[in-house]
Structure 1
Amino acid sequence: MINIRKLIYPWRYLFLSLCCLLLITACNTLAPNTQSDNKSLKVATDPTFIPFEFQTPQGELVGFEIDLMRAIAQAVGLTVNFESLPFDGMISTLQAKRVDAAISGITITKERLKTIAFSRPYFKAGLAITVREDNQDIKDFNSLQEKKIGVQIGSTGADFAKTIPNAKIITYNSGPDFFQDLHNGNIDAVISDAFATLYAVKNGNLKGLKVVADLLTEEYYGIATPQNSPHLDAINKGIDIVLSNGTYKQIYQKWFNVEPSQLPVELPLK
Structure 2
Amino acid sequence: MKSLYKGFMIGLVMLLLTACGSGDGDKEYIIASDNGYPPFEWAEASGTYVGIDVDIMNAIAEDQGIKIKMDFIGFTGAVASLKSGQADAVLAGMTITDERLKVYDFSDPYYDVSVTMAVAIGSDITSYEDLRGKRVAIKTSTNGADFAESIKEQYGFEVVYFDDSATMYTEVVSGNAVACFEDAPVMEYSIAKNGVQLVTTGVSEIPSQYGFAVMKGENAELLEKFNAGLANIKANGKYQEIVDKYTK
Q: TM-score, normalised to structure 2's length?
A: 0.89
Aligned length: 243
Instruction: Give yes or no for contact 1:70–1:79 (8 Å, CA) kept in 2.
Output: no
Deviating more after overlay: 90-99 vs 51-60:
90-99
Match of 2:170 in 1: 180
Cα separation, partners in 2 of 1:145 and 1:33, compared to 1, 3 Å: farther
Task: Indicate the SS of the match to 1:121.
Answer: coil
5+ residue gaps, structure 2, are none
Instruction: Give yes or no for contact 1:95–1:115 (8 Å, CA) kept in 2.
Output: no
Q: Structure 1, residues 151-171: CA drift from partner, whole Å, max 9, x if none?
A: 111112112212223211110
The alignment status of 1:43 with 2:34, answered yes or no, reads no
Q: In the aligned structure 2, how far is the partner of 1:243 from the partner of 1:30?
A: 36
Task: Indicate the SS of the match to 1:33.
Answer: helix
Q: How does 1:98-137 map to 2 (within 5 A)?
A: 98-136=86-124
Residue 233 (structure 1) shift: 1.3
Q: Structure 1, residues 66-125: CA drift from partner, whole Å, max 9, x if none?
A: 011111222222232101233124444334443221111100101100010111111111
Residue 58 (structure 1) shift: 1.4
Q: How does 1:11-30 map to 2 (within 5 A)?
A: 12-13=1-2, 15-17=4-6, 19-20=8-9, 23-24=12-13, 27=16
Residue 32 (structure 1) shift: 7.2
Instruction: Give yes or no for contact 1:91–1:116 (8 Å, CA) kept in 2.
Output: no
Task: Indicate the SS of the match to 2:112.
Answer: strand
The residue type equivalent to 2:190 in the other structure is A
Task: Indicate the SS of the match to 2:203.
Answer: coil
Q: In the aligned structure 1, how far is the partner of 2:76 from the partner of 2:239?
A: 27
Identity of aligned residues (%): 25
Q: In the aligned structure 2, how far is the partner of 1:192 from the partner of 1:63?
A: 17
The alignment status of 1:193 with 2:183, answered yes or no, reads yes
Cα RMSD (Å) of the superposition?
2.1
Match of 1:157 in 2: 144
Q: In the aligned structure 1, how far is the partner of 2:223 from the partner of 2:113?
A: 22
The residue type equivalent to 2:160 in the other structure is I
Instruction: Give yes or no for contact 1:94–1:116 (8 Å, CA) kept in 2.
Output: no
The alignment status of 1:143 with 2:134, answered yes or no, reads no
The residue type equivalent to 1:168 in the other structure is E
Q: Structure 1: which 4+ aligned runs deviate by more than 4 Å?
A: 28-32
Q: Structure 1, residues 4-45: CA drift from partner, whole Å, max 9, x if none?
A: xxxxxxxx335534643564466457657343145x321110
The residue type equivalent to 1:243 in the other structure is K
Instruction: Give yes or no for contact 1:44–1:82 (8 Å, CA) kept in 2.
Output: yes
Q: In the aligned structure 1, how far is the partner of 2:191 from the partner of 2:215?
A: 34
Which of 169, 187, 193 in structure 2 is aligned with 1:203?
193
The residue type equivalent to 1:47 in the other structure is N
Cα separation, partners in 2 of 1:252 and 1:30, compared to 1, 3 Å: closer
Task: Indicate the SS of the match to 2:31.
Answer: strand
Q: TM-score, normalised to structure 1's length?
A: 0.82
Which of 160, 169, 185 in structure 1 is aligned with 2:159?
169
